[in-house]
Amino acid sequence: MNQRKFMQTNPLRGNGFRLEPVPPSAEQPSADAQRGVPPAQPQNTFPSPMPASRPPGTGLLSNWKANAARSAALTANAELKSLTEQETLEHEVVGMPVTGPAHYPGNTTNGYHGRAPQSGTTPPSTMFAPLPTQGMQPQQAAPVGPYPQLQPLVPMPGTRPVPAQPEWYQYGPRPAMPAPMFTAQGFRPAVRPGAVPRKKKKRASMGIRIVLGVVVLLLLAGGSVGGYYYYTLSTPINTILNQQVQRLPGDEDPNQLRGSGGSVLTGGRINILLLGSDTDEKFKLINAEGTDTYLAQTDIVVSVDPATNDVTMFSIPRDFWVNVPGFGMHKLDEAYALGGVALSRLTIFQDFGIRINYYAWVGLDGFIKVIDTVGGVDIDVIHPITDDQYPDDVGNNTQDIYRYKRLYLAPGPQHLGGIEALEYVRSRHADLVGDFGRSARQQQVLKQLKNKLNSPGVVEKFQELANDLAGYVKTDMQLTDIFSLLRYARGIDTSKINQITLGPPYSSSGTTSKGESVVFPHCDLIVPEIAKVFASTADARCNITAATGNTASPVLASQTSPVSQTADSSVLQTASQMVNVSAMSLNGGSSSPIYPGSDLLGIHSLLDLLFLIVFESPAALQV
């Protein structure tokens, strides 16, 4: 039988960044003791004969904190609060007590049920000794916080079309016209000599004029709304796209050799590095240059060869013990914290020989915000979800970044907000079947989510969605590239997409000499895989041993400083891409069954990119 396993914890240590020291929290007495209620369970501890550890996973969802630090704060719950006796609102008496025959199962042997029934028994007052008054702590975590509100649309005044002037009025005297002597109204009056005879204008009927007015009004309103959307949406989206990151010395830029001709899908195989980070505030670290940064719990290289339709998702466990250039041996997820995209990219190239053409990074909070923006998801929770070691990384106001949280989601249909939905799809301890169960849960949420994102009303939320993504999605690709890539990926049978995870047998869990729990790569198995998957786009190797241990090289360390965005795409440029994507989508690009209407403004493409990385599965595109 499978058994639940518990993770060992190790502090994250690195030379290039500093973590806030976590002060040990004082243990608080149990609430039972406080109130005189007998303890719910024995507080004894059991020996641990089998030092098992949960196998480190591969990424954002699978192994968010596979090696959480053993923090003293874990031993106490800072949120321990007792339930206060709380006055409730008074209401009328419902009815009289039942006086019928009492039933009692008095056939027990242990005395638990051996007492005679007492109708209307009032619990002894000693049971309910006065409780310490303390604020109630709602079960829900703190809400994510305030979202930008959709700006109200400014109604555009309609413009009534001016009736066209007759041609003669503009260019000279009216030409002479033979006038009939009689009209339908009778004898035609004589024309005054020298007077310019008035032509009876062919005026459009009032109905037609109103129709024209309405059409013009709608066109103007539509144009204004469209312009408004392009302008307001392109600003946040501009912070997502074309976020170029300068390459570090030693990191060859494969795009210079590709000659792509302007399209991401031409010019041969490309490799895209997908990075995912928990972006909760407490996970914000400060690197050597004093810049805020995060760990990258997801490290996936997607390799696409449009010529052969070969697509591979190559997942590297976050705990891979590798040589981070300039910093020595570290876990792979620390490379991002130490030097951002540039160092992650260089690490993968130097250690495994894989050249990275593009990158995309997402933050977990973006997913929560998107779900909340669309009003949550309504699903049938397939079984009770229990997890005693869910990472408490959303709404955790303490400084303990390795704190855990307990989950209990009731089964059955219900509404889930962003945080609950994330818990539902992310928990790894909630079922015995591990990833299969988790994948089923993910599919449920994605299906609901995409139904909502496909509803016509979601257009009103485009700006909110764009703002949700801003700051939580970054890539050096253009919107048109993302649209093309995802459209291409959706057209491929998911079962044909290779998914390689460098877990066992490609690696094994272990402990470093300093006691850190890590994953050791098995190079003899990894190198042939790299050579097979990446072909000419990689110099397959497994150069994972650092010569200098964990000492940062001053030269390389200083070279990580220009890890900042160097290219600024203008808002107008972004708006132009949004127009292009809309046009591509409407011109047959919407072959996807996912968004059968169209990918207006490219919002759906950006959302799919978010889902792809958060769920670490191409199935996220197919739901």
Partner 1 sequence: MKTLLNWRWRSCLLLLLALSLQGCLGFGGNSNGDFNRTSTGGGQQLGINNQAVFQGKLYFTINRTLWVLDGTRTPHQLTRSGMAVRDPAVSPNRQWIAFVVRYTNYADLAYMPITGGKIRILRSGQGKYYYSGTFIHSSYTWQSQPAWSQDSTHLLFLSDFEKEDWYAYTPNAPLLDLQVFSIPLNDPTQVQDVAYAYFGDGGDRDPSYRPGHPDQIVYTHYAYDDATHTQQVIQIFLEDANAISRYPRGHYHPGEPGFDPGVAITPPQDQNIQPAFSPDGNWIAYVRRQGSDQMGLYVMPVPEGVTSDPNNPAVAQKALEPYKQSSLILTGEFISQPVWSPSGKQIAYLSYNNQTFDIWLVNVSLDTKTGVYHMTGSPVQLTDGGVDADSRPCWTT
Judged by CB under 8 A, which stretch of 47-55, 174-182, 562-570, 596-604 contacts partner 1? Answer: 47-55
Binding of residue 110 to partner 1 (CB under 8 A): yes
Strand stretches in 392-541, DSSP E = 404-409, 412-416, 473-475, 498-501, 507-511, 517-521
Q: Max CA-CA distance within the chain?
A: 127
Q: Taking CB under 8 A as the criterion, which residues in 441-500 touch partner 1?
A: 444, 447
Binding of residue 220 to partner 1 (CB under 8 A): no
Binding of residue 580 to partner 1 (CB under 8 A): no
Binding of residue 83 to partner 1 (CB under 8 A): yes
Tokens of 550: 């964990």
Binding of residue 140 to partner 1 (CB under 8 A): yes
Place of tokens 């070279």: 559
Specify the DSSP element, H or E, that contains 210.
Answer: helix 206-238
195 CB-contact burial (10 Å; exposed 0-12 / middle 13-18 / buried 19+): exposed
Binding of residue 185 to partner 1 (CB under 8 A): no
Residues listed for the chain? 623
Q: Least distance from C-beta 383 to partner 1, angstroms?
A: 5
Residue from 21, 96, 505, 587 binding partner 1 (CB under 8 A)? 96
Binding of residue 42 to partner 1 (CB under 8 A): yes
Tell me how far apart the alpha carbons of residues 209 and 128 are, in angstroms, rounded to a whole number: 80
Closer to partner 1 by CB, 356 or 374: give it. Answer: 374
Contact predicate 390/429, CB 8 Å: yes
CA distances from 85 to 31, 32, 125, 128, 441 (A): 13, 14, 13, 9, 38
Binding of residue 246 to partner 1 (CB under 8 A): no
Cα torsion through 592, 596, 602, 603, rounded to 10: -110
Tokens of 17: 């960044």
First-to-final CA distance of the chain: 32
Q: Least distance from C-beta 215 to partner 1, angstroms?
A: 11
Q: Least distance from C-beta 443 to partner 1, angstroms?
A: 9
Residue from 11, 13, 19, 31 binding partner 1 (CB under 8 A)? 31
Residue from 21, 88, 256, 593 binding partner 1 (CB under 8 A)? 88
Residue from 21, 95, 172, 173 binding partner 1 (CB under 8 A)? 95
Q: Taking CB under 8 A as the criterion, which residues in 361-380 touch partner 1?
A: 375, 378-380
Q: Total residues at the site for partner 1 (CB under 8 A)?
A: 120
Binding of residue 152 to partner 1 (CB under 8 A): no
Binding of residue 26 to partner 1 (CB under 8 A): no
Residue from 21, 109, 180, 256 binding partner 1 (CB under 8 A)? 109
Closer to partner 1 by CB, 333 or 423: give it. Answer: 423
Closer to partner 1 by CB, 133 or 170: give it. Answer: 133
Contact predicate 604/370, CB 8 Å: no
Tell me how far apart the alpha carbons of residues 223 and 217 are, in angstroms, rounded to a whole number: 10
Cis peptide leading into 505, omega within 30 of 0?
Answer: yes
Closer to partner 1 by CB, 355 or 405: give it. Answer: 405
Binding of residue 536 to partner 1 (CB under 8 A): no
Residue from 137, 159, 566, 591 binding partner 1 (CB under 8 A)? 137
Binding of residue 210 to partner 1 (CB under 8 A): yes
Q: Taking CB under 8 A as the criterion, which residues in 541-560 touch partner 1?
A: none
- String of DSSP letters for 339-357: HHHHHHHHHHHHHH-BPP-
Q: Taking CB under 8 A as the criterion, which residues in 423-442 touch partner 1?
A: 429-433, 436
Judged by CB under 8 A, which stretch of 138-146, 323-331, 593-601, 602-610 contacts partner 1? Answer: 138-146
- String of DSSP letters for 514-562: T--EEEEE-HHHHHHHHHHHHGGGB--------SSTTPPPHHHHHHTTT
Binding of residue 387 to partner 1 (CB under 8 A): yes
Tell me how far apart the alpha carbons of residues 235 and 225 are, in angstroms, rounded to a whole number: 16
Q: What is the pattern of x (binds partner 1, CB under 8 A) and - over residues 112-131?
A: xx-x-xxxxx-xx--xx--x
